[in-house]
A and B are shown apart, each in its own frame.
Chain A
Amino acid sequence: GAVVSQHPSWVICKSGTSVKIECRSLDFQATTMFWYRQFPKQSLMLMATSNEGSKATYEQGVEKDKFLINHASLTLSTLTVTSAHPEDSSFYICSARYPRGRIDEQYFGPGTRLTVT
Chain B
Amino acid sequence: QSALTQSPSVSGSPGQSVTISCTGTSSDFRDSSRVSWYQQSPGTAPKLIIYEVRDRPSGVPDRFSGSKSGNTASLTISGLQAEDEAAYFCSSYARSSSTVVFGGGTTLTVL
* Mutual binders A and B: no
